[in-house]
Structure formats: C-alpha cells, structure tokens
Chains A and B, each alone.
Chain A
C-alpha cells in the first residue's frame, strides 16, 4: 500500500475522466428532446431554478431553430448557464420538478438542452449582451467565482466599470478548482470566464488576496461600491488524533491539485477513505477511484435519508465501485512512520432531529478500524472566519451577515455567494451575484443624487 501518482496510462486517464453527461451531438438529437417539452405555463422547472431560467421558453426556442435566442434566454438569467448545465444537481432542481415525473415518465433533459444552446453560444462567441453607455461609476468585486462574475457582468451591462480581484491565477472559483473533472474541465471553465468577460467593462486582476496584498479600505476608497464574493475555502477539520499524518488530505486540496496540475500529478492511495457525503465527498471519492485507487470507501455519520448529496450523485459513486459505510464517524487515524495505516470509526445511531431538521447521529461506543493508506476529508467547508472578523464585517460563525440578501454592515460594501451562505450550489452563487448587482445599482443611484 502506498500513495502514488501516475498510476495509469494517459489513455486510461482520458477514459476515466471523459464527460459523464455527453452533449447532444446534433440538432436533430436536441430536437427530439426539445419537442418532448410540454411548454408548461408558470413552469415548475423554472420555479425550482435558483436563477429562474425560463426553461420552457429556451427549449421552445431550440425547437423553433432559434438557438441564439435560446442561449440569450438562458444566459440573461444565468450568465454561467453553460457551466451550470454540467454541474447543477438538476435532479433536485429543474429536472426534479419536471411535470413528466408526475406521469412517471423521464423528465425533460433540461441540462443537456441548456448545454446544447450555451455551448453553441460559447463556441461561436455570440455577443448576446451589450453595455449601456458608461455611467462613470466603478465597482470592485472580490472573487471571480460564480457570484463575483455574475455580479460583475450584471453591473457592466449597466455601464459600470468593474474590477475583479481574484486570489487564484484563473477565474471561475470553485467551478474551476472544486468540481469533478468528468463534469466540467478546467479548460471549459477558462473559456466560460473568457466568454463572460467578452462583454467588456470588466478588468480582472489575478493573485490578489483580500487581507494579504489587498485591503478593503483601499477598495472602499478607490471604488464607488465593493462586492465581496470570496467564497469559503477551508476544509472543516475532523479534530481527531492522527489528523496530521501523511496521507490525510482535504478534498478541496485534492480536487484543486487534480484540476490545477493534471491527473497524473495527483498522488492517490491504494485504499482510500472519504469522510462525508456531500457533493464534494462524492467528487473526491469517484475521482480517487478514477485515478487508480483500488478501494474507496465513503464514511458518513448519518444515513442515506440525511445525506446532503443527491441520489444521482450517490449512484455515480456506487457505479464507480465506491463502498459506503453509513452511521460511522471517524475517531482516530492510526499511522506508522508518520503515514496513515488505519482509520478508526465509531458506530453511530440516529437520535432526535437537530437544527437542520435532520436526525442527529449519536455515538454507540462501538468502534471498528479500516485499513487505509489515505483519508480524504470532505466534511464540509468553513468560512474565512478570521478574514471576516478582521474586516469588521458583521458575521455569524464566519459567514458574512447581510440585509436584503446583499448589504453588509459596512456602507457601500455588499456580499453574496458562499461567503454569505456558507457554501451552496454554483447556481445559487450566480443568483446571489445578480441580487448583489441589483442592490449596488440602487445604492449607486441613491449616492449619485
């Protein structure tokens, strides 16, 4: 047992990480699906989309051959509609609400149709949006992830000059750095960011970290308003003995490395335990398998009924051969020569519902050990608590507190996305960016008068 990189041949990597949801190859294929759509009124799919994409309209537009109009319909509601078509958990959003489910028929493949139109738009670089005349106003946006990009794009359309400050060398945030490669490739993310920025009016400055080489005071002084969308970044610690052993990694770093450095560069164990059952846990587990781990086991302290990932995601993990141990909480990592050898878990049982409404796990006192050489922690992310405190932002356990979904306690400073909600879907962040832009526009109009 060992943690090794470069376990597979280039062709094996390519095969393991190929697109899990292949696109419609032809217009004819898209039309078959588009024509199934009933064109519902006040459609349930639209209602369950956090960005309220007019789904029946964009599908009808594909059916009429107005693909450009279709892309405009999607992207005017969700500027990251291309990426969202690949990463959204549609089975609990639009497709989960499709009325065909009520007929026990397969729902309309909304994501795939959305991908069809938006990829056409990206490939041809259709200029679907134009900027209003310059207002002379300037806004700084911190974080070029989905929330920041969405906010910047919406502001630029209104004639506001935006500067985006991004910590990483690439834009896209967790879309670029935190999602399984078989869903969306880093190259695609880069193209999507470029397409969004092709509107103009948005300057992006990379490797600018708030609290390090960038201060909020400077931004407040130099800009008419500031939008904070710096996300969450830190993996939640397990706080158990042995966590510092070599071979214990956090899922975000694991996925980050995979996306930043390429498949063959990423070391992976032979027998891997993944702690958690969220989307990131699934992404880490499936990709550990695809990188060549022979055994991957997901460990979760509650049951399938309480798991944060969707059934669809769990199915992907199971189809990849990942094992699942329900009702088990890690209690200690045992090692030899500083390297992981075993993960000790305590068996749990479900007690009363907790604040989230889910039944909370209680220890039974019974323990068991698993022989593993790698432990990937995916038990959630923590907000940048220290940063938020240092910025004098009102917060709740590190999550920035906002009024009207957008306004912080500091005048002219707005916030949204993961840094406010603690970490949700890309599509939620895009909507937060739209909300932020709307609030900033009102604020700028008021300060102008």
Chain B
C-alpha cells in the first residue's frame, strides 16, 4: 500500500491534495467539510486588504456535454472580517492538527501591513503562508495581486518584507499572466521565498451572451476580465510548472502545483513534472469534496502498480523528459496503423488527414461502411488520426526509424543533411 503522506518544508499532510485558496476555503464550515472528507490540507482564502465583492462572480466554458471545462471568476480576496477568519483558522488547526493549514496573504502594499498580517496569522496557528502575487482582477488595480507578480523587482521586495517577519515556511504563488513565470519565480527565491506555487488564474473572457451581448460573468450589464481556471488551463499550468522545475535556481525549492487538476491522473502528471503537493479548486467546485476519495485511491493504486512507495519517489521524474526542440532525434519516425478489426468506419481519421494534414489515408468506398487504410509512404507520424479516433487502440503509431543513429537538428545542420522532405 503506497504512502501518500507528504512533507512540504515540514508541513505534513496525509496526502498531497490541498484545497487551493479560493471560495471553498473561505470559512470554517467549508473547510471542515473538506477535511472530514479527507483532504490533506487547505490554503485558506486570501486574507488582507478589506474588500467588497460583486454579484455575479463566476462563468464557465462548456464543451459538448461537459460543463465547467473552463471556469472563471471575478471574486476578490476574502470579504469577511479578518478577526473572524483568524478565529476560524485557530479552530480548524486545533481540530485537525494532522492537516496542512496554509494561509494565503495579500496585504496592502507596505511593509507594516504585511508584518502585521503575518503576525496575526502566525498567532492564529498558520503552518505556512502563500503569497498571493497572482490575483488577476480587482486587486491589481490597487497595485496588488498580479501587479506584484508581474514585476520581479516588486515581487522580490515584498517577499523580502515577508521574510523579515515570517517564522513559518513561505510559498510564493505565481501569476501566469506573464510571458514567462521564471523571472518572478527567480526573484522570489532570491528574495528568500521557501517555496513556489503555480499557476494562479489566467485573465480571460469566457464568452459573450448572444442575447444580451454582454460578456460573462454579468454584473448589471457589464463584465470584466476574470481569472480562468479548470481543466482547460491544465496544459498551460504544466508547461509553466516545468519551466520552474527546470530552472537551476527555482528548482531548488519545493513547488505546489495548481491549474485544472481534476483527477488523480492530473495530479500525478503535475507531480511527475516537479510538484510536491497539488492544489485543487474547480474540480471540487464542480463536484464537491467527495472527489478526494478517488484522488487518493487512484494515485495509491497507480503507485502500487508502478512500485512507488512514497510520493517523493516519483516527484519530478518527467522533468528531464522535456527538452529543447533542437535536441529532438530527427531520425525518429513513426507512422499510423489502423486496426481493421477495431475500426468502426467513422471516417474521422480520413477527413482530418485529407483536409488538414498529409493525405495519408486511403478511402475505399463501401455501402454503408468505407474502409480506411494508411498510405505509409505519405504518413509523417503527426498523430492527428490517432487523436481524433474514437476507439481506443484502433490507430497505433508504429516506430519506423529513418536510421538507427540519434541525430538532432544542430547535428543535422552541421552535416548539411537534406531539408524540406515533405
């Protein structure tokens, strides 16, 4: 039986699944329900400057029958009185001493405000801090949130203020609303941050109501850019995570991965690309806290299958497998193969290849079922047919190396080998 427990800078949790700083961690009733359900810990919704929220706050992107494929919000940090939040944090820590209690912070932009807030939260029993340098809406206009995270200099300065006072681990949460997260990540580590977490939400417009012509979410005939999250952002988050996990400086600190994690598979992927723990919000907001059961069981079963005893045994294992394009092996080649016994003759591979790729699938008309076969000499091995095929393992990509030797782009150029072969 795999051991899912994690140790993040001394903050222990029975599993790597924390609830991200968001509405589900806004108050004690939600948090206790989550911890009773089995979540490893929480990042309490951001405390700091006093705010006022609007109605409505959320909107989503549906895809086919799937709702909440992408999700955005225009909610600000906690709009509850600070003393109430602190009292509840104390209560939770007392009742659930084995769970991680991280508190997200976004103080007003001065040293004294940060120091006061840090003292108050430490007194309340927080085990760690997460600095919210990423909120993309509402707070940025006041010089907070993403306004800090988008400027490495400012981020470093604020981290330094925090480190002057904090006696517990500090995680800096990064905004994805930058061309690269690495500069702010480096600045934060240079400023003393003990860890990083990413990504925060991405600025977005989820859609426009075609009747009212007002974008979503709707507030009295207007809308604003909201922070985008949910399954749709996972690939972006994984990429940003990898850049931090590969950087010589930022890879020296632990990372908490965030961004569209819905299943144990997603969580494993984040951990393989360098996350020690993962944070989840949208999946819980879509289905409730009960998803924790399969998150744990699925990861545990996978670890057993793969022979991993502790989560640390696989954290970061895939990081070296993302390389630079110029280091890819040009002599590697694979081509599609269609298993005729599995083919259901839907023609999706054919029309995708014929219209938009390399005309590598042969069509023999039948009534009503056509036969589709790969024209091997035309196939560039792009995967498109396999990706659109609705039947598992019907189309497989079969390795057919051009030659056994590893030759990358740099070497290819050096040798003057032929280009433009398709």
Residues on B with C-beta less than 8 A from A41 are 346-348, 350-351
State which residues 304-354 of B face A: CB under 8 Å.
344-348, 350-351
Cross-chain contact A48 with B345 (CB below 8 angstroms): no
Residues on B with C-beta less than 8 A from A42 are 347, 350-351, 363, 365, 370
Cross-chain contact B348 with A48 (CB below 8 angstroms): no
Cross-chain contact B345 with A44 (CB below 8 angstroms): yes
Report the minimum CB–CB distance from B346 to chain A (whole Å).
Answer: 4
- Interface size on A (CB < 8 Å)? 20
How far does the alpha carbon of A123 sit from the alpha carbon of B338 in the complex, in Å? 46
How far does the alpha carbon of A31 sit from the alpha carbon of B345 in the complex, in Å? 24
Whether, in the assembled complex, B65 has its beta carbon less than 8 Å from a beta carbon of chain A, the answer is: yes
Q: Choose the segment among A95-103, A144-152, A383-391 that binds chain B (4+ C-beta atoms closer than 8 Å).
A: A95-103
Cross-chain contact A35 with B344 (CB below 8 angstroms): no
Most buried by A among B64, B344, B346, B348: B346
Cross-chain contact B344 with A99 (CB below 8 angstroms): yes
Whether, in the assembled complex, B390 has its beta carbon less than 8 Å from a beta carbon of chain A, the answer is: yes
Report the minimum CB–CB distance from B366 to chain A (whole Å).
Answer: 9
Whether, in the assembled complex, A27 has its beta carbon less than 8 Å from a beta carbon of chain B, the answer is: no
For residue B355, which residue of chain A has the nearest CB? A41
Cross-chain contact B65 with A32 (CB below 8 angstroms): yes
Cross-chain contact A47 with B65 (CB below 8 angstroms): no
Whether, in the assembled complex, B369 has its beta carbon less than 8 Å from a beta carbon of chain A, the answer is: yes
Whether, in the assembled complex, B51 has its beta carbon less than 8 Å from a beta carbon of chain A, the answer is: no
Candidates B65, B350, B351, B391; contact of A103 at CB < 8 Å:
B391
How far does the alpha carbon of A67 sit from the alpha carbon of B370 in the complex, in Å? 29
Whether, in the assembled complex, B368 has its beta carbon less than 8 Å from a beta carbon of chain A, the answer is: yes
Report the minimum CB–CB distance from A206 to chain B (whole Å).
Answer: 40
Report the minimum CB–CB distance from A60 to chain B (whole Å).
Answer: 11
Cross-chain contact A48 with B347 (CB below 8 angstroms): no
Residues on B with C-beta less than 8 A from A97 are 368-369
Residues on A with C-beta less than 8 A from B356 are none
How far does the alpha carbon of A10 sit from the alpha carbon of B292 in the complex, in Å? 55
Cross-chain contact B345 with A102 (CB below 8 angstroms): yes
Report the minimum CB–CB distance from A48 to chain B (whole Å).
Answer: 5
Whether, in the assembled complex, B55 has its beta carbon less than 8 Å from a beta carbon of chain A, the answer is: no
Residues on A with C-beta less than 8 A from B346 are 38, 40-41, 43, 99
Whether, in the assembled complex, B212 has its beta carbon less than 8 Å from a beta carbon of chain A, the answer is: no
How far does the alpha carbon of A63 sit from the alpha carbon of B365 in the complex, in Å? 28
Whether, in the assembled complex, A39 has its beta carbon less than 8 Å from a beta carbon of chain B, the answer is: yes
State whether A35 and B65 are in contact (beta carbons under 8 Å apart), knowing that A40-B346, A43-B347, A102-B345 are contacts in the complex. yes
State which residues 29-59 of A face B: CB under 8 Å.
31-32, 35-36, 38-45, 47-48
Candidates A36, A39, A47, A103; contact of B344 at CB < 8 Å:
A103
How far does the alpha carbon of A63 sit from the alpha carbon of B63 in the complex, in Å? 10
Cross-chain contact B369 with A44 (CB below 8 angstroms): yes
Report the minimum CB–CB distance from B98 to chain A (whole Å).
Answer: 42
Report the minimum CB–CB distance from A99 to chain B (whole Å).
Answer: 4
Residues on B with C-beta less than 8 A from A44 are 345, 368-369
Report the minimum CB–CB distance from B392 to chain A (whole Å).
Answer: 10
Cross-chain contact A47 with B347 (CB below 8 angstroms): no
Report the minimum CB–CB distance from B389 to chain A (whole Å).
Answer: 10
Cross-chain contact B64 with A99 (CB below 8 angstroms): no
How far does the alpha carbon of A39 sit from the alpha carbon of B351 in the complex, in Å? 11
Interface flags for A100-129 (1: CB within 8 Å of B; 0: not) read 101100000000000000000000000000
For residue B63, which residue of chain A has the nearest CB? A35
Whether, in the assembled complex, B367 has its beta carbon less than 8 Å from a beta carbon of chain A, the answer is: yes
Report the minimum CB–CB distance from B123 to chain A (whole Å).
Answer: 51
Report the minimum CB–CB distance from B122 to chain A (whole Å).
Answer: 50
For residue A42, which residue of chain B has the nearest CB? B347
For residue A45, which residue of chain B has the nearest CB? B368
Cross-chain contact A47 with B367 (CB below 8 angstroms): yes
How far does the alpha carbon of A97 sit from the alpha carbon of B346 in the complex, in Å? 11
For residue B389, which residue of chain A has the nearest CB? A38
Report the minimum CB–CB distance from A39 to chain B (whole Å).
Answer: 7
Residues on B with C-beta less than 8 A from A102 are 344-345
Report the minimum CB–CB distance from A242 to chain B (whole Å).
Answer: 46
Most buried by A among B347, B365, B370, B390: B347
How far does the alpha carbon of A63 sit from the alpha carbon of B66 in the complex, in Å? 12
Report the minimum CB–CB distance from A195 to chain B (whole Å).
Answer: 27
How far does the alpha carbon of A353 sit from the alpha carbon of B164 in the complex, in Å? 97
Residues on B with C-beta less than 8 A from A39 are 348
Residues on A with C-beta less than 8 A from B363 are 42
How far does the alpha carbon of A48 sit from the alpha carbon of B346 in the complex, in Å? 14
Cross-chain contact B348 with A38 (CB below 8 angstroms): yes
Report the minimum CB–CB distance from B388 to chain A (whole Å).
Answer: 10
Residues on B with C-beta less than 8 A from A103 are 344, 391
How far does the alpha carbon of A32 sit from the alpha carbon of B67 in the complex, in Å? 12
Report the minimum CB–CB distance from B338 to chain A (whole Å).
Answer: 14
State which residues 59-73 of A face B: CB under 8 Å.
63
How far does the alpha carbon of A39 sit from the alpha carbon of B388 in the complex, in Å? 11
Report the minimum CB–CB distance from A50 to chain B (whole Å).
Answer: 12
Report the minimum CB–CB distance from B186 to chain A (whole Å).
Answer: 45
Residues on B with C-beta less than 8 A from A48 are 368
State whether A63 and B348 are in contact (beta carbons under 8 Å apart), knowing that A44-B369, A47-B367, A47-B368 are contacts in the complex. no
Residues on A with C-beta less than 8 A from B351 are 41-42
How far does the alpha carbon of A31 sit from the alpha carbon of B64 in the complex, in Å? 8
Cross-chain contact B65 with A31 (CB below 8 angstroms): yes
Report the minimum CB–CB distance from B308 to chain A (whole Å).
Answer: 34
How far does the alpha carbon of A47 sit from the alpha carbon of B368 in the complex, in Å? 6
Residues on B with C-beta less than 8 A from A63 are 64
How far does the alpha carbon of A39 sit from the alpha carbon of B368 in the complex, in Å? 15
For residue A105, which residue of chain B has the nearest CB? B344
CB-defined A-B contacts under 8 Å, sample of 11: A32-B65, A36-B65, A41-B350, A42-B363, A43-B347, A44-B345, A47-B368, A97-B368, A99-B344, A99-B346, A102-B344
Q: Given contacts A36-B65, A99-B346, A103-B344, could you give 10 more A-B pairs where the C-beta distance is less than 8 Å?
A: A35-B64, A38-B348, A40-B346, A41-B346, A41-B348, A41-B350, A42-B350, A44-B368, A45-B368, A99-B344
Interface residues of B (CB under 8 A from A): 64-65, 344-348, 350-351, 363, 365, 367-370, 390-391
